[in-house]
């Protein structure tokens, strides 16, 4: 029996597009003589559809997509994820289902049992959990169908759920598992995914077919990485990351594969490719064409500009250089050199005169007050206004260039350098931005080496350096990771050898600046704990005060 793994990139709510895409992949699978084609979780709607699921018309359109797919199932079975209505009065109105279609009929639909409600997931808000389980018999094989999280309760020291849905199916003696998934990317997830799936194969001793989404949906990125695992726990095939593809697997070859075939999993390469895809899909799926970036000569704007040029093409990226009297000649030169290296358009609009005009108008109000962060923020907001003027006049979408270290401690200006349509590297710590820059330059110099080597600075006052206001990034980022990703308490972090005063200062900065993060652009998610839906903190609170 041949099974086609269809790792596809869909658009949330674009039912016509998604259905056309699935029909085209069905044709490809048919030409390769596949018996079954498998699409990801909620492939009809895209994932996550969120409160669109509260509109009955939205779910009816998904059901209509299923009807169209039925017609294409005359000579090939189709396995596809879709929301379905709950026919009973009790419980939630919907199920998250995987549907098996063949010969123009719906053979079976299995509902998802384990509904994740953590990090970016909120499925219990919409769906009722399954209360019945069965297998599908097809061409002499017994198939266990399930959806994403239903395989994720194994191999955990502290399981989130009280049951494993596969335990309900094993009495039927299935020959293999098909799991349809919407498993978002983070730089640790590919290894963890294989570990969990291998644990399932070890437990149930049958092969496993796993099909995941690929593509970005606003802030959430799916890496693909669909899998075929043999009964001996070896990865027979792992599909490419960040690419749509179709792979046909002979189920007979999954009994005892002799060797593994896995994709490379180097952290910085994965982050790089994820961010490029995130930018590309954010623009492509909304219909935006061109981007504008404030290019300062610093590392963050340089990395963001390179990623944007790779995602959109050099003719679709425009940068604005906005030096002030505090900008170094080296910074201006680095920005110009980068623009020339990439072959992108740049324009220079010095802001000194604009800044002085602001000060002249404010002098009567500021009389007797010293130059402080107020004047620094005015510069950032002038630059934000200029960038938004280009955005409004020419339709360029502003990309935000703040990194995660800055976002964590509030080292950014609302309505200034925190402006933008999407935050490209706000889930990438400063130390990781350096790693990204070196990765970008791995073959030849794209980012000027001086940009990477010079001490980081916002250049908003004479001789300013980030280290004037913040600890060294090596220390800052380590403490931030322990708190944000590791969710460690101040006492736990101090037990790792960090100074009490420093730890308390950093953690208070994180908590006090939640109000800024609420007002900034969506953040492309590449870590296990990103700002946004995955980290929901109150603005008004007294924890660590």
Find the angle CA(449)-CA(297)-CA(477) to the nearest 5 degrees: 75
Q: pTM to 2 decimals?
A: 0.96
Q: Give Cα separations from 545 to 456, 481, 495, 508, 541 (angstroms).
A: 29, 20, 20, 7, 8
Q: What is the pLDDT of residues 35-57, one digit of tens each?
A: 999 999 999 999 999 999 999 99
Q: What is the pLDDT of residues 331-350, one digit of tens each?
A: 899 999 999 999 999 999 99
Which domains are present in the chain? 2-252 (3.60.110.10), 271-518 (3.40.50.620)
Q: What is the pLDDT of residues 480-498, one digit of tens each?
A: 999 999 999 999 999 999 9
Show the tokens assigned to 107: 């053979």
The angle, 0 to 180 degrees and rounded to 10, between the axes of the packed helices 473-484 and 500-512 is 60
Least confident of 110-114, 456-460, 534-538: 456-460
Residues of the chain above pLDDT 70, percent: 100
In this predicted structure, what is the pLDDT of residue 222?
98
505 three-state secondary structure:
helix
HSE-up (13 A, CA, CB side) for residue 543: 12
Q: What is the pLDDT of residues 431-454, one digit of tens each?
A: 999 999 999 999 999 999 999 998
Out of 21, 41, 61, 123, which one is annotated catalytic?
Answer: 41
Cβ of 179: how many Cβ atoms within 10 Å? Answer: 29
Q: Is 41 an annotated catalytic residue? A: yes
Q: 478: cis peptide before it, omega within 30°?
A: no
Out of 21, 61, 128, 148, which one is annotated catalytic?
Answer: 148
403 three-state secondary structure:
coil
Instruction: Give bridge partners of residue 408 from the DSSP assignment.
Output: none
Buried b or exposed e, range 254-276, using 16+ CB within 10 angstroms: beebeeeeebebeebebbbbbbb
Mean pLDDT of the residues in the chain: 96
**Can you tell me the distance from the alpha carbon of 234 to that of 260, in angstroms, rounded to the nearest whole number?**
5
Contact 243, 213 (CB under 8 A): no
Contact 154, 48 (CB under 8 A): no
Show the tokens assigned to 310: 């790779």
Contact 155, 192 (CB under 8 A): no
Instruction: Give 491's contacts (C-beta < 8 A, 6+ positions apart).
Output: none
223 three-state secondary structure:
strand
In this predicted structure, what is the pLDDT of residue 545?
61
Long-range contact pairs involving 232-239 (C-beta distance under 8 Å, separation at least 24): 232/256, 232/257, 233/198, 233/201, 233/202, 234/258, 234/259, 234/260, 235/194, 235/198, 235/260, 235/261, 235/262, 236/260, 236/261, 237/261, 238/194, 238/262, 238/263, 239/5, 239/7, 239/263
Question: Residue 108: is its pLDDT beyond 90?
Answer: yes
Q: Is 70 an annotated catalytic residue? A: no
**Can you tell me the distance from the alpha carbon of 364 to that of 343, in angstroms, rounded to the nearest whole number?**
45
Contact 50, 154 (CB under 8 A): no
Out of 21, 112, 168, 516, which one is annotated catalytic?
Answer: 112
Least confident of 190-194, 294-298, 355-359, 452-456: 452-456
Q: What is the dihedral of CA 356, 361, 364, 366, to 10 degrees?
A: -60
Show the tokens assigned to 134: 């069965």
Cβ of 234: how many Cβ atoms within 10 Å? Answer: 18
Show the tokens assigned to 301: 């704007």
Question: Residue 372: is its pLDDT beyond 80?
Answer: yes
Distance in angstroms between the alpha carbons of the first and the last residue of the chain: 62
DSSP result, 156-186: -SS-SSS--HHHHHGGG--SEEEEEE--B--
Question: Residue 456: is its pLDDT beyond 90?
Answer: no
pLDDT grade for 544, boundaries at 50, 70 and 90:
confident
Q: Is 148 an annotated catalytic residue? A: yes
Q: What is the pLDDT of residues 189-245, one digit of tens each?
A: 999 999 999 999 999 999 999 999 999 999 999 999 999 999 999 999 999 999 999
Would strands 245-250 and 2-7 be described as parallel, antiparallel, or unpaired?
antiparallel
The angle, 0 to 180 degrees and rounded to 10, between the axes of the packed helices 430-440 and 473-484 is 110
């Amino acid at each position: 029996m041949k099974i086609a793994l269809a790792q596809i990139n869909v658009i949330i709510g674009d039912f016509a597009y998604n259905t056309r895409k699935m029909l085209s992949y069905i044709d490809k699978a048919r030409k390769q003589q596949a018996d079954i084609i498998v699409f990801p979780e909620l492939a009809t709607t895209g994932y996550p559809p969120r409160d669109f699921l509260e509109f009955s018309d939205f779910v009816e359109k998904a059901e209509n997509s299923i009807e169209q797919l039925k017609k294409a199932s005359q000579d090939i079975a189709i396995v596809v994820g879709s929301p379905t209505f709950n026919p009973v009065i009790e419980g939630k109105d919907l199920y998250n289902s995987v549907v098996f279609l063949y010969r123009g009929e719906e053979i079976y639909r299995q509902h998802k049992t384990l509904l994740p409600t953590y990090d970016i997931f909120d499925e219990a808000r919409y769906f009722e959990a399954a209360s019945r389980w069965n297998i599908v018999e097809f061409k002499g094989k017994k198939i266990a169908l399930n959806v994403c999280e239903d395989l994720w309760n194994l191999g955990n020291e502290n399981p989130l759920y009280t049951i494993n849905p596969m335990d309900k199916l094993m009495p039927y003696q299935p020959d293999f598992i098909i799991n349809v998934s919407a498993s978002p990317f983070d730089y640790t997830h590919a290894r963890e995914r294989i570990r969990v799936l291998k644990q399932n194969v070890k437990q149930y001793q049958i092969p496993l077919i796993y099909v995941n989404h690929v593509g970005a949906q606003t802030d959430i990125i799916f890496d693909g990485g669909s899998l075929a695992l043999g009964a001996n726990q070896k990865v027979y095939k792992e599909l490419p990351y960040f690419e749509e593809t179709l792979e046909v697997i002979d189920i007979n070859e999954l009994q005892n594969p002799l060797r593994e075939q896995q994709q490379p999993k180097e952290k910085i390469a994965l982050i790089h490719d994820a961010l490029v895809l995130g930018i590309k899909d954010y623009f492509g799926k909304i219909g935006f064409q061109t981007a504008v970036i404030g290019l300062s000569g610093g590392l963050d704007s340089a990395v963001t500009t390179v990623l944007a040029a790779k995602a959109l093409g050099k003719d679709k990226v425009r940068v604005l250089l906005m030096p002030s009297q505090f900008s170094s000649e080296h910074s201006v030169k680095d920005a110009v050199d980068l623009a020339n290296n990439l072959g992108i358009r740049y324009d220079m609009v010095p802001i000194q005169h604009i800044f002085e005009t602001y000060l002249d108008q404010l002098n009567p109000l500021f009389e007797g007050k010293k130059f402080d962060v107020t004047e620094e923020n005015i510069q950032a907001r002038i630059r934000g206004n200029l960038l938004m003027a280009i955005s409004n006049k020419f339709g360029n979408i502003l990309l935000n260039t703040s990194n995660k270290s800055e976002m964590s401690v509030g080292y950014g200006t609302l309505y200034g350098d925190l402006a933008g349509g999407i935050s490209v590297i706000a889930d990438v710590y400063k130390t990781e931005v350096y790693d990204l820059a070196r990765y970008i330059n791995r073959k030849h110099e794209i980012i000027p080496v001086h940009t990477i080597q010079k001490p980081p600075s916002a250049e908003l006052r004479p001789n300013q350096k980030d280290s004037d206001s913040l600890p060294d990034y090596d220390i800052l980022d380590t403490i931030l990771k322990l708190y944000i990703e590791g969710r460690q308490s101040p006492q736990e972090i101090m037990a790792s050898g960090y100074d009490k005063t420093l730890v308390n200062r950093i953690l208070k900065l994180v908590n006090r600046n939640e109000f800024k993060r609420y007002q900034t652009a969506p953040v492309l998610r590449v870590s296990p704990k990103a700002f946004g839906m995955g980290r929901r903190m109150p603005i008004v609170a007294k924890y660590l005060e």
